[in-house]
Amino acid sequence: MIIDSDAAVPIRPPFWRSLYAQVLIAIALGIALGAFAPDIATQLKPLGDAFIKLVKMIIAPVIFLTVVTGIAGLRDLGELGRVALKTFGYFLVMSTFALIVGLIVANVVQPGAGMHIAPAALDTSHIAEYAQKAHDQSLTAFLMNVIPTTLVSALSEGEILQVLFVAILFGIALSLSGARGAPVLDLLEQLTAVVFRLVGMLMKAAPIGAFGAMAFTIGKFGVGTLANLGGLILCFYLTSLAFIFIVLGGVSWAAGFSIFRLIAYLKDELLLVLGTSSSESALPNLMAKMERAGCDKPVVGLVVPTGYSFNLDGTNIYMTLAALFIAQACDVDLSLGEQISLLLVAMISSKGAAGVTGAGFITLAATLSIVPSVPVAGMALILGIDRFMSECRSLTNFIGNAVATVVVARWEGALDREKLKAALG
């Protein structure tokens, strides 16, 4: 925003200079290139990959600094436990509801009915990598992986939950250090300002990353790829939209804000998620914007990073919807008991799925490997369109975590309503 010193009236910069416009233009150009010059478009994948790596490079420091300074600034450690309890209670309710929504829609619409696919006839060579990753994703392995090898390795390896674990411990220790910890806290707060300035610098490359990622997606799979399985994609997108505007919209209304205004406030980040198919690409900006919208730093520092692993509404809808699609396509009739078993397994396996491209597919493989009724080989049916569904998963996950942050902050009395009104207005 530019200020006219004579009139003291804000002068809006040209539309094309905003990140929103640049990413939107980049996505449109990427789609056009992928459609008309797929050979060239598929070679641009490194642009999208490089941008996501740039963002992931900065995520660990952002989470560590935000959580540590937030916890150290709490009035008492009991407040931390209270925020955590409310956060995970909200996550459990909403993620379970998302799984149920996917299950209900799949039973009503039955997108896979009539395909009559024989699992033995499917080419499963392309899903071997995902099946192996799913095999490694046991509950015990997941819990053990939360603990890093060393205090520093959590930051160097960039595992979100490891960074969060170390940051919480460090923040508690800093809070208990009293006056001796004050210089350290002051240093970390100054470092936080520098790191967020770096985030702003990296975001200038967002249009390039979105262009490369979208060009590759369309060039590699083609718009025509959507034809055969378009029904499943349409069903998933409509279900996710209904979940956002009806379920999350209802939660937002009850909390005293508009889901439409929140989406408008986060439009830059949502376009970035759309272009890269990764909600992680917008994580640093989400944390900064939630603070600017009046949510206290400790709440933002706890809710957003944990939400990226435990509050994945889009992934949950996808898992039950895709699992029943595969069962219907392969003529597997699941009883109510088997569907409930699938739901319970998905409740566990969906926790800890990262917000990166393909994580939902890996989590689905983990779920199906535990539920023998649905053939894992059937995943080959949706491998080709998973990239298109990944975008919707990421967008729904992102919006769900933004809503969760405001709701938990309101419950905790840590929401500045005037700031929220100004931000969303």
Query: Partners of 10 in the beta sheet?
Result: 3
Task: Please provide the average confidence, as pLDDT, over all residues in the chain.
Answer: 79
Lowest mean pLDDT among 73-82, 211-220, 237-246, 253-262: 73-82
pLDDT confidence bin for 5, thresholds 50/70/90: very low
pLDDT digits (tens, 9 = 90+) for 275-320: 777 777 788 889 889 999 999 888 888 888 888 877 888 888 988 8
Fold of 2-424: Proton glutamate symport protein (1.10.3860)
- 8-state DSSP, 295: B
d(CA 246, CA 242) in angstroms, rounded, equals 5
Query: Average pLDDT of 367-379?
Result: 72
Q: Say which residue the tokens 């490089």 belong to.
A: 50
Lowest mean pLDDT among 23-37, 113-127, 391-405: 113-127
Q: What is the pLDDT of residue 39?
A: 87
pLDDT confidence bin for 126, thresholds 50/70/90: low
Q: What is the pLDDT of residue 281?
A: 76
Q: What is the pLDDT of residue 262?
A: 95
Contact assessment for residue 23 and residue 275, using Cβ atoms and an 8 Å cutoff: yes
pLDDT digits (tens, 9 = 90+) for 172-200: 888 888 788 888 888 988 888 888 788 77
Lowest mean pLDDT among 107-111, 212-216, 342-346, 355-359: 355-359
d(CA 229, CA 322) in angstroms, rounded, equals 11
Query: Average pLDDT of 64-79?
Result: 75
pLDDT confidence bin for 61, thresholds 50/70/90: confident
pLDDT confidence bin for 350, thresholds 50/70/90: low
d(CA 140, CA 40) in angstroms, rounded, equals 44
Q: What is the pLDDT of residue 2?
A: 43
d(CA 406, CA 266) in angstroms, rounded, equals 13
Asked whether residue 416 carries a pLDDT value surpassing 60, the answer given is yes
Q: What is the pLDDT of residue 50?
A: 83
pLDDT confidence bin for 7, thresholds 50/70/90: very low
Residue 39's Cβ-count burial label (10 Å; 0-12, 13-18, 19+) is exposed
Contact assessment for residue 199 and residue 19, using Cβ atoms and an 8 Å cutoff: no
Query: Average pLDDT of 49-72?
Result: 80
* DSSP element (H, E) containing 4: strand 2-4
Lowest mean pLDDT among 68-77, 113-122, 321-330: 113-122
Q: What is the pLDDT of residue 257?
A: 92
Lowest mean pLDDT among 23-27, 52-56, 106-110, 250-254: 52-56
Instruction: Rank 34-43, 71-80, 98-107 by mean pLDDT and report only the highest.
Output: 98-107
Q: What is the pLDDT of residue 75?
A: 61
pLDDT digits (tens, 9 = 90+) for 230-256: 778 888 999 999 999 999 999 999 999
Listed in sequence order, the DSSP H helices in 73-109 are 77-109
pLDDT confidence bin for 127, thresholds 50/70/90: low
d(CA 36, CA 387) in angstroms, rounded, equals 19
pTM, entire model:
0.73
Asked whether residue 225 carries a pLDDT value surpassing 60, the answer given is no
- 8-state DSSP, 376: G
Q: What is the pLDDT of residue 355?
A: 43
Question: Domain boundaries in the chain?
Answer: 2-424
